[in-house]
């Protein structure tokens, strides 16, 4: 019997699962959108009636993940939905909000609708009683120097069967994942427009957004 046939191709097709087995945590893809000259600023939506870029590439990446993660700062900036739209037959990823003190997700938030399950990660000592009525799952994790312990978050997701995650940001949480050595691949969408200065795509404590 021959062994190792198409080994490289088989590995390439199972990168996320193999990484999760090898590391005991989900495979992490950090995704961001930016303009050429504006850090992490998203391109301005086109005017009504003009041609829109296809959402397919981002939706496909989204639908391939078992979970999608955002930081509390992203949710405070704008109400997010985070469910997959426009991909026929897609399995909805678990929506995960990293909300240390349980202050960003309020009852009635878009991320709590019934389009997909939601998990809110809070600190072990956070006052999160108000989240009980939302129907979301809540996981309590140790604090880190800033926010929550990233490795504990990934371990909690792995224990729930999550093998791949799409890290949607924002820049501060993405910086924490990179600092923790917990980003396996980066997918950047660069729009070929110039919008001037904007926040950095990745932030660190030394270089905040």
Per CB under 6 A, residues contacting ligand NAP are 32-34, 40, 42, 70-74, 77-78, 98-101, 144, 146-148, 150, 168-173, 176, 203, 209
Neighbours of 109 (CB within 10 A): 18
User: Minimum distance from CB of 205 to ligand NAP (Å)?
Assistant: 8
User: Which residue's CB is nearer to ligand NAP, number 18 or number 59?
Assistant: 59
User: Minimum distance from CB of 136 to ligand NAP (Å)?
Assistant: 15
Tell me if residue 166 falls in helix, strand or coil: strand
User: Which residue's CB is nearer to ligand NAP, number 12 or number 79?
Assistant: 79
User: Which residue's CB is nearer to ligand NAP, number 10 or number 125?
Assistant: 125
Length of the chain: 209
User: Which residue's CB is nearer to ligand NAP, number 91 or number 207?
Assistant: 207
H-state helical runs in 87-145? none
* 8, 20, 117, 157, 167 from 15: Cα distances, Å: 10, 9, 25, 18, 17
User: Minimum distance from CB of 49 to ligand NAP (Å)?
Assistant: 25
Dihedrals phi, psi of 95, to nearest 5 degrees: -90, 125
């Amino acid at each position: 019997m021959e062994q190792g046939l198409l080994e490289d191709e088989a590995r390439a097709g199972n990168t996320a699962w193999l990484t999760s087995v090898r590391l005991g945590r989900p495979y992490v893809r950090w995704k961001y959108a930016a303009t050429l000259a504006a850090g992490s600023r998203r391109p301005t939506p086109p005017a009504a009636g003009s041609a829109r870029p296809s959402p397919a590439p981002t939706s496909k990446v989204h639908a391939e993940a078992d979970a999608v993660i955002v930081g509390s700062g992203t949710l405070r900036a704008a109400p997010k939905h985070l469910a997959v739209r426009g991909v026929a037959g897609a399995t909805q990823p678990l929506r995960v909000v990293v909300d240390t003190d349980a202050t960003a997700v309020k009852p009635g938030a878009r991320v709590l609708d019934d389009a997909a399950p939601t998990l809110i990660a809070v600190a072990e000592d956070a006052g999160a009683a108000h989240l009980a009525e939302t129907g979301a799952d809540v996981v309590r994790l140790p604090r880190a120097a800033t926010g929550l312990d990233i490795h504990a978050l990934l371990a909690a997701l792995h224990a729930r069967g999550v093998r791949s995650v799409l890290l949607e940001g924002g820049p501060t949480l993405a910086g924490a994942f990179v600092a923790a050595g917990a980003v396996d691949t980066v997918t950047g969408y660069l729009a070929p427009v110039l919008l001037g200065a904007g926040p950095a795509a990745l932030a660190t404590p030394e270089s905040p957004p």
